Structure 1
Amino acid sequence: MDDDTPDAEPGSAAGNGDQPTDNDAQAVGDDGQAVGEDESARGDDGQAVGEETTAEPTGAAADTATAAGEADTTDAARESTAGETAVPDDVRKYERFTKMDGAQYDRVNEFLRDRTYITAREWAIARLCADFRTETGVEMTKIGENLPELVPFMTDTYSPQAVNQARSSFEDKVTQAGATFLYGAMSGFFTADELDDVMYEVTEIAKFLLEVEGVDLAVADELNAEERISSVMRDVRQQSAELRSEEVECPNCGHTHTPDSSE
């Protein structure tokens, strides 16, 4: 063996395999944590000393926080329940216009404008005024405040004054349309057959609106109603002819006579 091999430096780990001594750049403690580590010294519980922590409430503070959270939840639930119960039961159960879910006001209004004198607003509110009539009058406030809930194609609430105005407008137009029709029937402008054709057409429109409102019309009831209306209109025509002193045709035998004739 050569004697030229240099001796290990005192305190070096290469000398005899012992643990590093204090001469190293950083000494290691018994628990493996570097002594003198600048980042964060750790305490017995593993929490870095000086590291900010958020203290959990305990005792009375914890009870108070829990109670506050429950109160917030209760308040939110109460507000939600109040919002649901704000709609009256009779409004919630109203099903007149359910067949028109998803319908747009403009489309409904256009349909009515082409076939009647009334608007969609007047039609809907007139129907509601009839359904929400009480012994003391019409519940116009309830109708106006819950209008979007009651009629699918109505999107805004109405004041009681606006409800009353729409109902009044509907009544005025029905009177005007009735006067127009009755004059046409009484004036002699239409023959009996032509008048029947007019009655058939307007009856079909009226029945359609009733069906949209949720009225189920049996076929027998429809035919019976049409016959009764036709009978009334024939009587109107005959009576009006007598007023004009014209010859009329007997609906039973077909014989024509003047109102003054006893034959």
Structure 2
Amino acid sequence: MDEDGLDVADSDASEGHKAGADDHDDAESVGESSPVDEEGGGKEDEKKEQRENEGDGPMPGVPDAEREESDVPEDVQKYARFKKMDGAQYERVNEFLRDRTYVTAREWAIARLCSDFRTETGVEMTKIGENLPELVPFMTDTYTPQAVNQARSSFEEKVRKAGATFLYGAMCDFFTAEELDDVMYESTEVAKFLLEVEGVDLSVEEELEAEDRISSVMREVREASEELREQEQSE
């Protein structure tokens, strides 16, 4: 991980402050890290929450006491994702992601949890929110189901916008074919690294299959782009 710039065990305060400030941009869309007391909370709680979101302190909402193991659902106890992130600081993880992707650390973690805890009737939002600190080492507070849903929706929206941005860049003739190959290679490497951090072991066959699918899509994009340019020239 070190060679990719994600020293997950480092607790450098100055770098954590920077990442926390960046993450404030997404506070409204993903839900605050320390949910506001629905009964009120008062101005003091609002000021505290604002300071935390601006990165002026450690990751907010550290639980007052450890939960009894018997209170944790069995499937949560056995959940093995993100184990490589034990000891990670939220701010460092967030900084790494914001340097390479559009998503924040909470969006990344919750999107993965929503995939893993999906049932035939939907996503177990309550289970994810109530057990978030047990499921993800760098998340230190519980979330409401609404906050989980907000983070999931924000992740989906960013992926869609990033996809549209990339395809437009590929089709508008801004990049050469070689430059697009470089973009795809870099994107693939970041995606593979995140999967490895989650504990996903990709076989060589799976990697090749994924690369083939991406290459196939890129060929279609280039062909469509060339057809559009030819139509424009003929007109």
Q: Are 2:230 and 1:240 equivalent residues in the alignment?
A: no
Tell me the TM-score normalized by structure 2.
0.68
Distance (whole Å) between structure 1 residues aligned to residue 95 and residue 170 of structure 2: 27
Letter in 1 for 2:190: I
Matches within 5 A, 1:73-152: 83-152=68-137
SS in structure 2 at match of 1:244: helix
Matched residue count: 169
Q: Are 2:199 and 1:214 equivalent residues in the alignment?
A: yes
Q: Deviations over 1:175-234 (max 9, x none)?
A: 111111010111111111111111001010011111111111223432342233123202
Q: Deviations over 1:50-83 (max 9, x none)?
A: xxxxxxxxxxxxxxxxxxxxxxxxxxxxxxxx93
User: What residue ranges of structure 2 are gaps of 5+ in the alignment?
Assistant: 1-66
Q: Are 2:215 and 1:226 equivalent residues in the alignment?
A: no
The structure that is helix-richer by fraction is 2
Moved over 4 A (4+): none
Q: Offset of 1:84 from its aligned partner?
A: 2.3
Q: Is the 8 A contact 1:192 1:234 kept in 2?
A: no
1:77 corresponding residue in structure 2: none
Q: Offset of 1:157 from its aligned partner?
A: 0.5
Q: Offset of 1:246 from its aligned partner?
A: 6.3
Letter in 2 for 1:188: D
Q: Deviations over 1:228-249 (max 9, x none)?
A: 31232022111122023269xx
Q: Deviations over 1:148-198 (max 9, x none)?
A: 000000001001111011111101111111111010111111111111111
Q: Is the 8 A contact 1:184 1:190 kept in 2?
A: yes
Distance (whole Å) between structure 2 residues aligned to residue 109 and residue 84 of structure 1: 28
Tell me the TM-score normalized by structure 1.
0.61
Q: Offset of 1:90 from its aligned partner?
A: 0.6
2:161 corresponding residue in structure 1: 176
Distance (whole Å) between structure 2 residues aligned to residue 121 and residue 149 of structure 1: 14
Q: Deviations over 1:10-53 (max 9, x none)?
A: xxxxxxxxxxxxxxxxxxxxxxxxxxxxxxxxxxxxxxxxxxxx
Distance (whole Å) between structure 1 residues aligned to residue 218 and residue 69 of structure 2: 50
1:165 corresponding residue in structure 2: 150
Q: Offset of 1:110 from its aligned partner?
A: 0.1
Distance (whole Å) between structure 1 residues aligned to residue 80 and residue 192 of structure 2: 18
Q: Offset of 1:142 from its aligned partner?
A: 0.5
Letter in 2 for 1:232: V
Distance (whole Å) between structure 2 residues aligned to residue 149 and residue 130 of structure 1: 17
Identity of aligned residues (%): 80
- Indicate the RMSD between aligned Cα atoms, in angstroms: 2.0
2:174 corresponding residue in structure 1: 189
Letter in 2 for 1:167: R
Q: Which moved more, 1:111-120 or 1:133-142?
A: 133-142
The higher relative CO (CA closer than 8 Å, separation ≥ 6) is in: 2
Letter in 1 for 2:179: E
Q: Offset of 1:135 from its aligned partner?
A: 1.2
Letter in 2 for 1:172: E
Q: Is the 8 A contact 1:117 1:173 kept in 2?
A: yes
